[in-house]
Structure 1
Amino acid sequence: MSYPTKPCFVGSFKGWDNEALKHPVMQYLSNLNTDLCETKVAHSGPHTKWFTQDFEFQAQGGQTLKGEEAWKRMIYATRFYDKFSVEPLSAFIQDTDDGYDGMVYGNVYTNFVEPGENTKGINYPESLSFYVREGF
């Protein structure tokens, strides 16, 4: 019995090194990390620069939002982070007929700002592990 095969990128790395950036999805995520997380320049721009209309974000209460509403909620959810950064550790990304589908695992580093304060926030000494499944 034969089964269909598709090209697949499997990587294990430390951050945005050359190995990670070999795949276009990882290049996209690196740029998103810079513009959304580290510099926040993406916050004032349109969601369509980064996501398609069918982009979904699941809010803390379980509500699933789509498109521009999802983008705004995601920006809102990061309001207490002075800065944050994503460090990918591994990825599994498979080619599909219309793009890519895959998983990325890594760490999120951040510090938190007290609401109403103009401080740099409290350094968060630990990293938070994350897993994301995305289709591109």
Structure 2
Amino acid sequence: YARHLKYVRDYQLVYGKKAEYDAAAAPIRTELDVLRENHQFVRDLDEDPQALSWEQRVAKKYYDQLFKEYCLADLRFYREGKVAMRWRTEAEVVSGKGQFACGSLHCDARDDLRSWEVNFAYAEAGEHKNALVKLRLCPPCSDQLNYRKR
């Protein structure tokens, strides 16, 4: 597709008929863009599926495919107190990531894991929310999680 756009731009430069190809230069909204805009970390269980828009149904379908027993954490910015969390996918559940292996995205330790119940505070659609999530981490990653609490 990128090659097609390059050809269209080259054609416009040579022949100057820009008005016919303005639609080709318009940004395309993909399902990933829709998912990023409408995803919710924790969804309401009493949502009426008939009242949801197409975008909200796409986000809900993705949410329903996630496994919400344990979270995975990105601890790269732990010194600043910024920890990103997400639910596990099916492939991660099958491999044991987050339950039998460390729940940090950048660690694969399988020994001496500790379970944590973490109050995850996050902002979603301009609103501050909290969720109590379970997380299993190895000792070095546990230290990173609790870095600001020392």
Quickly name the TM-score band, shorter chain normalised: under 0.3
Compare relative contact order (CA 8 Å, sep 6+) and give the higher one, 1 or 2. 1
Q: Where is the strand percentage greater, Structure 1 or Structure 2? A: 1
Q: In terms of Rg, which structure is larger?
A: 2
TM-score by length of 1: 0.26
Q: Could you state the TM-score of these two structures normalised by the residue count of structure 2?
A: 0.24
Question: Between Structure 1 and Structure 2, which shows a larger proportion of helix residues?
Answer: 2
